[in-house]
Amino acid sequence: MRKIIHVDMDAFYASVEQRDNVAYQGKPLAVGGSPNTRGVVCAASYEARRFGIHSAMSSKVALQRCPHLIFVSPRFESYRAISAQIRPIFERHTDIIEPIALDEAYLDVSENKGVGK
């Protein structure tokens, strides 16, 4: 039987923005398009989720649910760089990695790579 791990990092883009900007920490934040331009939310921080904001929601609706929501434009280059930093962690456990997105991958851990031996 094969053993597969599905890694899906929660609130990845929003967490990167909060990590990189102290002013965003602990606040409702949405990464995505502006509410004035038919934008959509790509990622919502945990604080924003408490207002019912989630990814794929229109930014306009998100702003209605949380008027003090902070909107941040996506910085895909940064997300890509951080995603690349996470990859070696996966490689410690398996050589069979199927990336799905910057924040998501399948790891085939059927065979024990012998971490910690």
Cα–chain center distance at 69? 18
Q: Which is nearer to Mg ion, 38 or 99 (CB)?
A: 99
Shortest Å, Cβ 112 to Mg ion: 27
Between 17 and 103, CB nearer to Mg ion: 103
Q: Which is nearer to Mg ion, 55 or 58 (CB)?
A: 55
CA distance 15 to 13: 5
Q: State the minimum distance, in angstroms, from the CB of residue 7 to Mg ion.
A: 9
The residue from 47, 77, 91, 104 that is catalytic is 104
Supply the minimum distance, in Å, between the C-beta of residue 13 and Mg ion: 9
Asked about 77 being catalytic, the answer comes back as no
DSSP state of 69: P
* Residues facing residue 108 across a β-bridge: 4
Does position 103 bind Mg ion by CB under 5 A?
Answer: yes
Burial 11-42 (b: 16+ CB within 10 A, else e): bbbbbbbbeeeeebeeebbbbbbebeeebbbb
Does residue 8 belong to the site contacting Mg ion (CB under 5 A)? yes
The residues of the shown chain that bind Mg ion, judged by CB under 5 A, are 8, 103
Q: Which active-site residues does the annotation give?
A: 104
